[in-house]
Structure 1
Amino acid sequence: MSALPLDAEPTAVDYYSGGRTTYLSKVPEQKRAKATFNRIVSAAVDLLLERGPAAMNTNAVAEGAGVNVASVYSYFRNKESILYFLAEFYEGSRVALVASGAERIRNGADWKQTVSELIDAMVDFRIAHPGCVVVRNAVASIPDSPDFDASSTREAAEALLECFLRLSPTSSPQKLRKMTLFFADTVTVTVDRAFATTPHDAQAIAFLKEMSETWLSTYVDA
């Protein structure tokens, strides 16, 4: 088990806990409204997993959530808004995992162990939240959709950069920035590929952890 925080089940997630409002028509403020909102988003995830993006529409989401379609439209303009909200939620969660690990390193935790736990946490998140994979693919199929992956990778890299600036005070900040961006992207791509099969490729994850320690060690001052 990872030492980093993870939610247990996709349907138990408080989707509005992050306060993300970019793709919302209305913000759920009252307890009952938040419960309805979470049912709507959870129903969308379940629909994507069970029937795929082609079957997802606002009527189907409303039926799955047990609400009328007007309730869906009160929060989302269309199905693309739901997908974008979910993409932002999942990618934001990924950044939060990295930020949590980065904070532990800044507070004195062993960086090698923490990086290993961070990769484990990302794997655990994928297992607990299978919707993140189908949402990423669905968003990628929408023309001119926002590049959530690139944005979150940059944010994750910046969080790691703060750590390695402390671990490698004699290294060039520009060089370290390139390194952390490459590392964040490599972890994302490798985890994606590992989950292209069921069950996921555990050997690929083990190799990723091994190579991460070896490669990152070259950037840490002795």
Structure 2
Amino acid sequence: MDTLFNNLDIFVDGFRMTFVLFFFAAIFALILGTIVGAMRVSPVTPMRAVGTVYVNLVRNTPLTLLMFFFAFGYPKLGLPDVGYTTLAIIALSLYTATYVAETLRSGINTVPVGQAEAARAIGLPFGQTMSLVILPQAFRATVPPMMSVFIALLKNTTIAAGFSVAEAGTIRQVLSERGEPQLTVLLWVALIFILAVGVLSLLQRYLENKWRVAR
């Protein structure tokens, strides 16, 4: 307990940055992933092709390599300096969006084809068919796997520690310089992550129960 309370400022600052990375990356990944997921099932061949190339290219690229590009390659492109934190959010968003897209695509495939045909029969274009008929049902069907994607995102934020972002992954290094036992520090970090994952699991259960009733 002394390790935690004597260094509470380090733990608070580290996990605050972790949750900032997680929150913004989750929002952007959900938005981008929804768009890409819709493109993957689009009747327009070029849109399907773009969605497929994006998912296969980014998903098969290690997140560390993607983070490395934004940390060291991006500044050499002559683009505006936005800071390592923003670049880490962009990298996490682009990477996680591929998993959101594939999870959502699997949910879209669970929606009966007749519903899309009925929507088209009454004159709804593809965009409205997706947003009003297909996607609401797809999101309900994919709550558990989607939450697993976001739990993975929460854990992936620690990779940003290797690229000058002071989040939970840097706590061990900082406290080792203060002479704190590293094993104790790692156990506290792991415990806090377990508690955060528990909160996401409770959110998953709440959404499942709510949307099960809505059906």
| TM-score, normalisation: structure 1 | 0.35
Q: Greater Rg, structure 1 or structure 2?
A: 2
Bigger RCO of structures 1 and 2 (CA < 8 A, at least 6 apart):
2
Greater helix percent: which structure? 2
